[in-house]
Chains A and B, each alone.
Chain A
């Protein structure tokens, strides 16, 4: 494949150049903090819905799930179902109410009726934690993809590529802010969904447009797994522990989405709650469609490439989709699909970076350090830009360290942190009258601490050949995904923390509820 490295780099270069032009054009009108951090709240529902799909369909969704299905069959499909059903939590319980009560970040919603400095600090901490895990996953994916495309198998060479990806994303965020980043998401989402759609039709056409025939061919080409490729249990069915692990993962997936900070922030880029609803509806249809494609792509990769060949490739399961592209359309399609996958990583990383930097600039700098008295709104943007550079550098370093880890798995950890540290607080805050500062702090810090402790003590980190530190052995907690313990614990902690404190501001809750449901006094779009 090395002979095609130049072609791959060329196609990717064209994408980078084209999106940079768009980003620079989009940034012309960026003047205020609302412009930089929320794109002036001027995107329409459909535009934002496509951008949400762009933010959400990360390398884990494309490379990770297609690979998991190709290698582990049905168990890979379960990821996509969790990722999709999770959107109903966002649609029914979170999106519109959040849009009506906040400005840029999750911290805004909590600060509405609680003591703002402690809850903002807590919200910013968990936002950073989730973003960090998610960034690690994307950067690790970038390393693996490059290994496959450019034939760079040395860790040093892959590290250089991770640095390039990181530098590009910093450029996007610095120049374009939220508006530029949103346009990058839109372009990328369209390329990704169209690309996956074309490949899906192509694969199905090879088998007479008959899914059953395709499944049969996948089984024939997977001698080790055989018929088991079509039923559940290949990856998680071995023991009682692994089954419990799967249940834990399923919970984290379905409850994590509505707590992902880079998704929550997207609800602020539209002018009204109704547009926020429309954008989620668009996102659900696009994301659902895409996951149906990955089902065909995954089994298609099993049938046309074969699990053994995929596992032997550099990048392992993550390379199933690119290998399928090569099997279908030769080097040119491989180059195109690889560029799309690269674009996916780049765009998601940019989205995460702007979210984490916004949370720091808005929650920590403007509202805690400056106590909300900074009249100079430019300062908030300046701080956001500097934070983006720092986060970029941290994620480059972390990405080099995490290179080689399974991306769908790393993303699942980010979901577990989001579901434990963020979701309970968001739901309590929107729906529970009695909820207060103490409850929020217990739930966020407690959920975060439990989740991270369990991850550190899990077999994912030590004790197994596949662990991050295979030689060390401190895996006291048997499950790779902590969700089944950490999510209920965070809900319970939120309850205990609340009832232990006397704080109970009925008037503030009344104001919040009225505003959340009616949209009175919600942040308006910026007029240019």
Chain B
């Protein structure tokens, strides 16, 4: 990897024992907080999207059922996809600001500051 200048910043800081950092309780906690949020959430929205697509694809009658005036089930479920996307976005930002950023910042300062 010496062929890429991509690593210059780290080399300038000296080399860390990355495996040790990766195994540290702080880092493991950060990874747990990230993964325990994004993986289930990704599974959830993909399942919900897939369910919607399958309904639109194979349940035409159900989706065309009118609810209010000309507004049918399909349109409502479609608009709910917009709502859930906006909601998950907001939830993730809140989670990241509150639970991920402070932890990541602390680790970053330790790693970068430790070499200064």
Task: Give the B-binding residues of A (Cβ under 8 A).
Answer: 74, 77-78, 81-82, 84-85, 87-89, 91-93, 102-103, 108, 111-112, 116, 210-213, 215-216, 219, 227, 230-233, 236-237, 243, 246-247, 250, 254, 274, 277, 281, 284-285, 288, 291-292, 367, 371-373, 506-508, 510-511, 513-515, 517-524
Task: Given A81-B78, A81-B81, verify A93-B42 contact (CB < 8 Å).
Answer: yes
Q: A102, A277, A292: which contacts B93 (Cβ < 8 A)?
A: A277
A-B contact pairs, 9 of them (CB 8 A): A74-B56, A84-B82, A87-B89, A88-B42, A212-B71, A232-B63, A250-B57, A288-B85, A521-B112
A74 to chain B, nearest CB (A): 6
Interface string of B34-73 (1 = CB under 8 A from A): 1001100110011001101110111010011000111110
Are A510 and B71 in contact (CB-based, < 8 A)? no
Are B52 and A81 in contact (CB-based, < 8 A)? yes
Task: Given A74-B75, A507-B19, verify A517-B6 contact (CB < 8 Å).
Answer: no
Task: Given A92-B92, A523-B9, verify A84-B107 contact (CB < 8 Å).
Answer: no
A94 to chain B, nearest CB (A): 10
| Complex CA–CA separation, A100 to B81 (angstroms) | 30
| Complex CA–CA separation, A84 to B14 (angstroms) | 42
Chain B residues, Cβ within 8 Å of A510? 18-19, 21-22
Who on chain B is nearest to A228 by CB?
B64
B61 to chain A, nearest CB (A): 8
Are B82 and A288 in contact (CB-based, < 8 A)? yes
Majority secondary structure of chain A interface residues (helix, strand, loop or mixed): helix
Chain B residues, Cβ within 8 Å of A285? 86, 89
Who on chain B is nearest to A87 by CB?
B85
Q: A87, A91, A102, A371: which contacts B3 (Cβ < 8 A)?
A: A371
Chain A residues, Cβ within 8 Å of B54? 247
Most B CB contacts (10 A, CB to CB) among A77, A254, A521 go to A521
Task: Given A216-B70, A219-B70, verify A85-B45 contact (CB < 8 Å).
Answer: yes
| Complex CA–CA separation, A231 to B81 (angstroms) | 16
Q: A247, A518, A521: which contacts B30 (Cβ < 8 A)?
A: A518
Are B85 and A518 in contact (CB-based, < 8 A)? no
| A-B interface, 4 closest residue pairs, ranked by CB to CB distance from nearest | A212-B69, A231-B64, A372-B3, A215-B70
Chain B residues, Cβ within 8 Å of A78? 53, 56, 78
Are B22 and A232 in contact (CB-based, < 8 A)? no
Are A211 and B107 in contact (CB-based, < 8 A)? no
| Complex CA–CA separation, A247 to B52 (angstroms) | 11
Are A367 and B22 in contact (CB-based, < 8 A)? no
A26 to chain B, nearest CB (A): 25
Are B41 and A84 in contact (CB-based, < 8 A)? no
Chain A residues, Cβ within 8 Å of B70? 211-213, 215-216, 219, 230
Chain A residues, Cβ within 8 Å of B19? 506-507, 510
Task: Given A85-B49, A92-B92, A211-B71, verify A520-B107 contact (CB < 8 Å).
Answer: yes
